[in-house]
Each structure stands twice: as C-alpha cells, then as structure tokens.
Structure 1
C-alpha cells in the first residue's frame, strides 16, 4: 500500500476523529486529508512530479505532518531534515538528492538561503512567521493551503520510493537511505502487530520526525486511525507527563537519554501515569538498571526493548514477558523478518559466538541514494543464497550474539571495538557495568590512542551523585570487569555529546577527548 493511503483510508472511516494534537491545535482526519490535498495540488502546480525529491525542513509541528502526506500525494519522495541541521550539511543534501522543492519553517529560511546559494529552480514554501531572508521563488505555506482542492493523479505504485532519510553521518558524510512505500508499509504493519496497537491508542511523540523512530510514530498512528500527540522535545519532562495525563496517552516511545532524565527525577511515584499501556525504547539498548526503574515507575505497563537501524527501521523486539529472564537482550526478529548472526566465515554463528547481525525482510532498504559502493557493502547475497538466488540482505555492521533459544544480544558496532593490550573490548560491556553504579546517570566509553596499549579505554560519565570520584568508578569497574576492560581514565561531564536524534555519540565523545588531550 502507498503511504498516502494511510491518511485517505483513515479519513474515509474516521473523518471526525482527532488524528493529531500539535501546537495547541487539534486536527481531525478529514482536516489533515483536506490540508494535505491542498498542499499536494500546490506542489504539483509548481512543477513537483512523480519521484521528485522534496525536503521537509521543520521541527515537530503540524505543518510537517501536512507536508509529509502532501509530498506523497503529489507522487514525490519526502526527505525529513532535522531542524537543527546547519547550512553546510543541508547544502550537501541539496547537492546529493537535487530536490524539486523545500518546505521549511520561516525561522529556518536563512539556513535554506545559505545552503542553496545561487541555485535556482527549487520551489520553496515557508510557514508563516518572521520573514528573515527568503530566497526567490518562495511561496507562503498558508497561501498554498488556501488554494484549490484537487487530487493529483500521479500514477505511482507501492514500489516507488516514498522517503529518502539521511543517516546522522556518524561514519562520515550522511547517506540517503531509500525506502519504498512497500518497505514503509511492511515496517509499520510489523511494529503495530507486536505492539498490539489499535485505533483507540493515543501515542505521544517527542522524537524528531526527521528521526525514523519519531517518523514511524506518525506513520503507524495514521495507518491505524489512532491519535498522535506531537511535542517538540523532552526538555521539560513534567510538562510532558502532564500532557500524557491530559490526552489519555497509551503509548510512549523513549530513547535512552530520555530514560536517563527520568532516572534523575526523585519525586515520581509508581503508577503516576495510570493510562499508559506500553513504553518502547530503541536507538540504543537501555541499561538494565534503567529497565528496572522504569518497571517500578510504570507497574503493569508493557516495556518493549527494541533494536533497529535506519536501513530497515526495526529489526528486533523483546516480548515484555521475557524481561525478567533476559533483561539485557534486544529480543527476537519482528514479525515477517529474519534476524540472524553470522561468524567470520559467513556461516550462521553458534549460540554465544559473536558475529555480524544480518536482516532479511520486506522492510530492508533499497540502498543508498547515488552511492553504489556503500550499497554493495551492506546489501549482499544471502548466506544461504540457494533459498532465493540473487536476493540481497542487510549486513548491519553490528556485532551480536544469540543464546540457545535464539534471543539476540547487542555487543557493539564493528568500528567501535577497542583494541587494547592485544585484547578486544566492546564499549557496551563496560558501559553496562558503569550503569549499574547508582551514581552514574549516563556514560559512554571510547578507545583513545595510547603508545603502549594501542588504545586506552576511557569513560565519560554524567554523575547523578556529585560525590562520585574517578577512583569510585574505577573500583566499581574492577569488581565486575577483567583487568584489560577497566577504564584507564574517567572524565566527568555535565552532559554527553549527542546526535541530532538525541543518541549519545561515541564518535563525538572520542573527538572531544582528542581535542582536549
């Protein structure tokens, strides 16, 4: 199914139901359908056609939701861009995907102008707000929405590209991940199946729509005909919790940095969010101590530990009833997906053996936009190619192991492994021990160049206990880790460097450490 059908189908069945709560406004499915039709017509009138790329450069606002569905209704491909993106990165994306249009917030127009330079021929629509510097050919978003209502007959099918979502660029320049309508529909169907979502769900999302975890909260909600409460950030948790209570929220997606903020709040009583049915986590594995605390605060709420990556959206989930048995596992393959570990010889790894995770499923990306070399590196023949000759599966680059029952455990990124004293150290193993100390709120471990060790294990820690010392941390690690895994240094920070999506960045932490050495 094409993604725009998510909205049109729900509008047909639930026209008057609240689809979106955002920016102190409420939108029914009929209203969202109408607004996106109007914007789609404006895009088509300004030269946007089937398979063209359109950048949606906005924060979590109602205009971003309308824009995404309007682009799809015009037959084009949307590319959500984080509102914190700077001009040089935006210029790279513009040069890479050659968009036919950019839909942006007024406050971001100076960034758009700087990124475009003297480029012309790109249709630009800006939301209402302070004028700032606007490039030529800039239209008013409100005027676009005031135009005629007509359906755009683009002739697209579900094998067309639906979205081009750029990676954070943690390993270099960002890469555009190509996802078809069929890819997105398969992912949304699988996730809503194991979450047991229904049209009665109310999902609150603070994660950027430019982050696929946040984006899919929108896509899944609209596909179901449920309600999405869209907030801009988790900077003020108490305000978010109040919104949860006001709106009767049933689903709350988290990332580890949000969980860490909750851990530092001392006045929360168990069961304070009574209507909540489930909580999800992805982006990085939750420390076991955080899982235990969340379960105390949210009794009776189903907590899903999950793993995924932009190239396939979601791979695995841990059924909540397995938390007591395997709290450090990211679970099993999501429905209609295969997830397995291969060893260094390309064979399926035995239980307990660390190898690379491989994903097979209808949600696996088509490749990286105009980057054949990187595409060939990660999309390769199935290890058992006689099952489906010519099939390509996703080699994630992530190190995993599986237990005897097939449950999967994240070990680390291949590129993250620290080689010290001739031994290999997975930073996540050290971080897991750090998080068991009550005085540690957040932690990241990196390898720093060392003339004797090759690399030295270094820890960066945000304290929840101001009295915590470097010796305390090292002694704690010494009680739980082999000698070569114990950090040689501990640096205390007020906050850890994070990506645009709020994920702790090991690369940025290592760069910061090198800069101050």
Structure 2
C-alpha cells in the first residue's frame, strides 16, 4: 500500500519493514522480533480489532508490562485507525476505571496477571459501557478472549482506515493539580514532527541499539520505541529498573548505544560503579529528562559512559519536549536545560502577558507543531494551557513553569507555578495523594508537598494529623498508600503532626509545613473534641 513519508506514526514501521526487513526491531523478554515480524503481528491484530468493531478514532487502552505484546498492541491500534492510550501497569483498579470511563475506551488490551486490577476496574464501570477486553496470554477455557483466539490465521494489511495526520494518535494521561488525571491529546502530526526534531538533535542513526527501561505509558519511554522504529534501529526493551545488575549486563550483552534515564537510575548505577570496574564504552548517547540532572552527577556519568554524549533536557507531556542542552555546553552551562528543540520557539512572559528580556524570570511559553491539541473533554483546562499567539490563528502553550533566559537564548529552570510534584520522572498530583490519605481511617488531616531530592528530583512528603484516639502510625499509613497508589506516588516520608497550620480561611499553609519539625516519638497529642486548636 502506497504511503506518504512519515505522514502517520505507523509509517515508520512500514518503511523500516521495507528497508530493514529481517533486522532486529525488538529485543525483550528473551524474544527477538524483526521489523517484518513486528509488522505482521501488528497487522494481524489490527485486522482482528477492526473485525471486532473498532472504528477510526476509537480509544484503545493498553494495560500491559513492557514487552512484545505491548509493542504489537500500540502499532496495531494505529494501523487499525484507533487512538493509543497506554496505561502504566502499576495503576490501581479505581484509577484504571476512571481512565477507561473518561476516555470512553472501546477496547482494553491487557494480560492475565493484571486481572486482579482489571476485573475490579470493569466492575466499577457499571452501569457505564465496558470496553471489550482482550487478554494477550489468557486462557480461553476460562472465557478469556486472547490474542491467539482473536487473530485470523493469515496476515496481510487490514486496509487503510482513512487516518489523516491531524487525527488523534494518542491520549497520554498526566496528573493535574485538581487530582484527576488529564488526557493530553496528541495527533499523528504532533508525534511525527516531534520524532524528527528529537532525532535531529540527538544525532542518532539506524545502527543504534536503544535501551528502554522506562514504562511505555511514560511518554519518555514511548518515544524510545517510536525513535527506534522510525530509524530502523533496535530497541532493547526491559520491564523496569528493579535490578541494576541486570541492566548493566544487558548494556554489555546487547552492545547498547543509547541509554535514556532519569536521575534515580543514574544515581543507582553510579553507586555501584568502582574505579576497577569497566564502564560502558558501547554507549554513545545518554539522555536525561523528567527530573533535573544535577551537575554533580555529570562527572560520574562521563566516567561510566566514557564515549557518550550526555544530553540534559526538559519537557512536559503537553508538548513532549521543550529544550535540550548540547553536550558540548555541559561544562560551560551546568545549570541550563538548553535551547528550544529544532523547529520550535520558546519565550518568557510575565503573569500579565508582557514579554520579558534576558535575565528576567517569567512563565515559559512554547510554540510549534509539537504542542498538544488540548485536554480530552476538558475545554476549561485546555484554555488555561493554550493561549493565543502573536500571529493569526497561532496557539501557544503556557507551561506555567518559571524560567529565566540568558542573552544567548539558553533556559534556566526556576520553579513550578502550579502544585504538581515531579518525582522519579513522573508527575504527581498532591491532591490525588491527599485524597487517599484522607480516606485512611484515623487520619484527620493531610497535606502533601514536594521537597528537593538529588536522585528523585522531588521527594514526596506527607504531613498527617490523626483523629482523636487514633493510634495508627507511619507504617500503617504507608501500607494504605501502597494499596491505593502507584509506587511512584507513595510518599517517601510521612510526618505526623498534632495539627496542620491553616490560614484564616481554613486552607493549609504548605509553606509553613516545610519548616515544620517532627514532634517527639511519643503518640501525637490531640485536641479534645469540641475545643479549638491553638
């Protein structure tokens, strides 16, 4: 089937299957798939989804661990004309139900090991429409619809669903300050432009072997897959970073050339490094985003990856990537996150919308073909982020993050003007964590803040006061959080206080909390019922 060059995201797979053929596209879970094999599996699943009623624009939730089935599901959805919605496999049932309901997902592709989350989530959806559930590795005798029972016996292109470049390619959910995740809408045009810009400044070629240990639900992880496929390169896909020794072994065994990470990953590797232990000379590029890369980590990374260019970057889901610092500038500008990525523009404004000059601190604005089209079903929140530009019909992304820019156009992060915590490369809504804390029996009040952390970017600290007579402790509170929240959202620190400071209007004063100290280890005192707090 004739296709325009990279008009749609899946065009990268078609082209690489044509040009690279039997070359390894994916190495994961002990499996090795060529581009031809990956395309064949994706086409067969796409045809099966179409036969089961998938219409162009339907949302397909992909709730799986990193692996072959997740990659096949992503490309199958695009080939069938659907909208990809990858969900972090750490997600709990209540949040999964929210995502399915909010997106109106028509299909849910998952794994049998996640039934413990999927089945309660589907029950919560009633009486709302439930998506059609397909389990990649389920048991037909149990009534599961599986990939093997769904897929037709022969391959072949399922046909053109009529997708155009301005159609939605993905919904990427990100935490919001209200506590409810927001679905960032990105089109095929958004994604294909961004891919081209990333590949240009990262200086990557078709001979790369890219290691990805980040969740495919995290756009940083997803784009490692998309870059590898578009280049005709090889993706070495890992389920995560639970065992650093396994990752070190994988880098050596697979001769990895590109290593994307976040500060928690880098600090773990550096903690294991020794002078008498060889580094990783095969790696030619190391990238960091999500949380800021501390300048103190750079010398260690340069020793660990002696032949690598090290890229410091900044971005947000609403436009994927904002800026990057050329590796040659690391020493000269250790605090900078660089300049706008190719083909885009950035500038600073004050809260009144006035343009700011070099050295002034203001709100970062971004314009370019990578900017999202909005939040799914949330026009008011969309209006808060997308503003009118200087040119007719121009839309500009207001990041609400504070930066300053020097005279040469280099950006320096100052702080966030919203309430979001960025920990382990993930956005965490304090409200979402606070809602869980308030639901724990014995908790009277709770407030969550982010505190600087060299490895995490920000650590999550929860301040909690207990109801009169309550004897629960930090351990019980942490366990309750672990049962309700993804791992990256569980507070690293829980501080029990007799009272949380409040304003005259009753709002918790979070700035005052940051200076609060733990009381002595004895049970916290309680204000008797009916009396007023001091």
Cα–Cα, structure 1 residues 417 and 42, in superposed 2: closer, same or farther, change >3 Å?
Answer: closer
Q: CA deviation at 1:260?
A: 1.9
1:34 aligned onto 2:40: yes
Q: Secondary structure in 1 aligned to 2:291?
A: coil
Shift of 1:241: 1.3
Q: State the secondary structure of the residue aligned to 1:244.
A: helix
Counterpart CA distance in 2 for 1:207 and 1:511 is 27
- The residue number in structure 2 matching 1:393 is 396
Task: Say if 1:182 and 1:362, in contact at 8 Å, map to a contact too.
Answer: yes
Match of 2:159? 152
In the alignment, what sits opposite 2:335?
A: 328
Aligned counterpart for 1:5 among listed residues 11, 16, 19:
11
Question: Are 1:6 and 1:223, in contact at CA under 8 Å, matched by a contact in 2?
Answer: yes
Quick check: 272-281 or 123-132, which moved more?
123-132
Alignment of 1:178-217 (within 5 A): 178-217=185-224
Are 2:290 and 2:315, in contact at CA under 8 Å, matched by a contact in 1?
Answer: yes
Distance, in Å, in 2 between the alignment partners of 1:263 and 1:146 is 48
**Aligned equivalent of 1:109:** 115
Give the match's secondary structure for 1:234: coil
Q: Post-superposition shift, 1:267?
A: 2.6
Q: Is the 8 A contact 2:210 2:256 kept in 1?
A: yes
Corresponding residue for residue 376 of structure 2: 369
Equivalent residue in structure 2 for 1:47, among 43, 53, 78: 53
Distance in 1 of aligned mates of 2:462 and 2:78: 46
Q: Which residue of 1 aligns with 2:350?
A: 343
Aligned pairs (5 A) from 1:208-247? 208-247=215-254
Name the CA shift for 1:6/1:417 in 2 (closer, same or farther; >3 Å): closer
Determine if contact 1:82/1:500 at 8 Å carries over to the other structure: no
Q: Out of 341, 353, 356, which is 2:360 matched to?
A: 353
Output the CA distance in 1 between the equivalents of 2:44 and 2:167.
22
CA shift for structure 1 position 443: 7.0
Residue 479 of structure 1 corresponds to: none
TM-score (norm 2): 0.78
Corresponding residue for residue 410 of structure 1: 413
Tell me the TM-score normalized by structure 1. 0.80
Gaps of 5+ in 2: 1-6, 422-448, 464-477, 501-517, 520-534
Question: Which residue in the other structure is 1:70 paired with?
Answer: 76
- Distance across 1 between alignment mates of 2:72 and 2:272: 35
Provide the secondary structure at the position in 2 that maps to 1:376: helix
- The question of whether the paired residues in 2 share the 8 Å contact of 1:87 and 1:114 is answered with yes
The alignment partner of 2:165 has SS state of: coil
Aligned to 1:483: none
SS for the counterpart of 1:404 is: coil
Say if 1:68 and 1:345 are closer, same or farther in 2 by CA, change over 3 A: same
Question: In structure 2, do the counterparts of structure 1 residues 347 and 511 end up closer, same or farther at CA, with 3 Å as the change threshold?
Answer: farther
SS at structure 1 position matched to 2:54: coil
Alignment match, 1:458: none
Cα distance, 1:305–1:131 mapped onto 2, change above 3 Å = farther
Cα distance change of structure 1 residues 396 and 270 upon mapping to structure 2, 3 Å threshold: farther
Alpha-carbon contact 1:3-1:181 (below 8 Å) kept: yes
Q: Distance in 2 between matches of 1:442 and 1:86?
A: 22
1:217 is displaced (CA, Å) by 0.2
Q: CA deviation at 1:65?
A: 0.2
For residues 266 and 178 of structure 1, the distance between their equivalents in structure 2, rounded to whole angstroms, comes to 41
Measured after TM superposition, the shift of residue 309 of structure 1 is 0.7
With over 3 angstroms needed to count, the CA separation of the structure-2 counterparts of 1:509 and 1:246, relative to structure 1, is closer
Which residue in the other structure is 2:106 paired with?
100
C-alpha deviation, 1:67, in angstroms: 0.2
Query: How many residues end up aligned between the 2 structures?
Result: 447
Q: CA deviation at 1:508?
A: 4.5
Q: 1:105 to 1:266 in 2, by over 3 A?
A: same
1:60 equivalent in structure 2: 66
CA contact (8 A) 1:53 1:78 kept: yes
Q: Following the alignment from structure 1 to structure 2, what is the Cα–Cα distance between the partners of residues 30 and 443?
A: 40
1:131 and 1:110, CA in 2 relative to 1: closer, same or farther beyond 3 A? farther
DSSP-derived class of the 2:227 partner:
helix
8 Å contact kept, 1:270–1:296: no
1:125 and 2:145 are equivalent in the alignment:
no
Contact 1:269–1:297 (Cα < 8 Å) also in 2: no
Find the aligned partners of 2:404 and 2:333 in 1 and give their Cα distance: 13
Q: Summarize deviations over 1:272-317 as a string: whole Å, max 9, x none.
A: 1111101000001111111222122222310000001111111100
Q: CA RMSD in A?
A: 2.9
**Ranges in structure 1 where 5+ consecutive residues have no aligned partner:** 419-426, 436-440, 450-492
**Matching residue of 1:466:** none
Moved over 2 A (4+): 118-122, 129-132, 142-150, 168-171, 266-271, 415-418, 441-449, 499-503, 507-517
Secondary structure in structure 2 of the residue aligned to 1:50: coil
Instruction: Quote the Cα distance in structure 1 between the aligned partners of 2:115 and 2:462.
Output: 40
Aligned equivalent of 2:184, options 149, 173, 177: 177
